[in-house]
Amino acid sequence: MQQPSSKGRRAPHWALSVALLGLFSTGVNAEQPTTPAMPQSAADTPFASDREAVIWRQDELKDLERLLRQLRFDLVNNQDARGAAPRLAELQEKATQAHFLPAFIAGTHGRGSDAKPDIWEEWDEFAAGFTDLEEKVSILIEAAEQEDYRAATRAFSDVGLSCRSCHRAYRYD
């Protein structure tokens, strides 16, 4: 069914075709997002040292895990989207490439780190995991905003799966 235009008239059939063609052509011609460059040293990052970056990322990932536990309680157990809103905003801000990738300085694995060297050998795939996480978090937020708790529960599960798949591939347990 066509939506009425702002003047109360229906949009002509060709307008819908042009709009759809524009959407598809934008996708074809649009540049694909590029993977952020792998930081080669602490000088390439906001961190004073490699060790500071490792400690920061470990702490941030633990905080993210705690945040997810709180969100499970808010959204799945209590079905309280309004109460979850500040934590969802924090999740959306933190569960991103931009937030985490600077802390993965080349070679910051080994002693004192849970990171496998595969991270730096498979940088594009590793970074893509954060893109996947960002998408899953967006779906979770949308479901919560609509107070669709069944969809939020599924989306929350997908966020967890995204985290676990990355941990299995790139983190020593």
Chain centroid, CA 9 distance in Å: 40
pTM of the model: 0.79
* pLDDT tens track for 36-52: 999 999 999 999 999 99
Model confidence at 17: pLDDT above 90? no
Three-state DSSP class for 110?
coil
Integer angstrom CA distances of residue 55 from 79, 90, 172: 34, 20, 15
pLDDT of res. 3: 36
* pLDDT tens track for 67-119: 999 999 999 999 999 999 999 999 999 999 999 999 999 999 988 999 999 99
**What b/e sequence results for 29-48 when a residue is b if at least 16 CB atoms lie within 10 Å of its CB, and e otherwise?**
eeeeeebeebbeebeebebe
Q: Amino acid identity of 147?
A: E
What distance in Å separates the CA atoms of residue 155 and residue 171, rounded to the nearest whole number?
23
Query: Any idea how long the chain is?
Result: 173
What distance in Å separates the CA atoms of residue 154 and residue 160, rounded to the nearest whole number?
10
Chain centroid, CA 16 distance in Å: 32
pLDDT of res. 33: 62
When comparing pLDDT for 154 and 23, which is higher?
154
Which range is least confidently modeled, 7-16, 129-138, 155-164? 7-16
pLDDT of res. 173: 80
Return the structure tokens found at 23.
């959407």
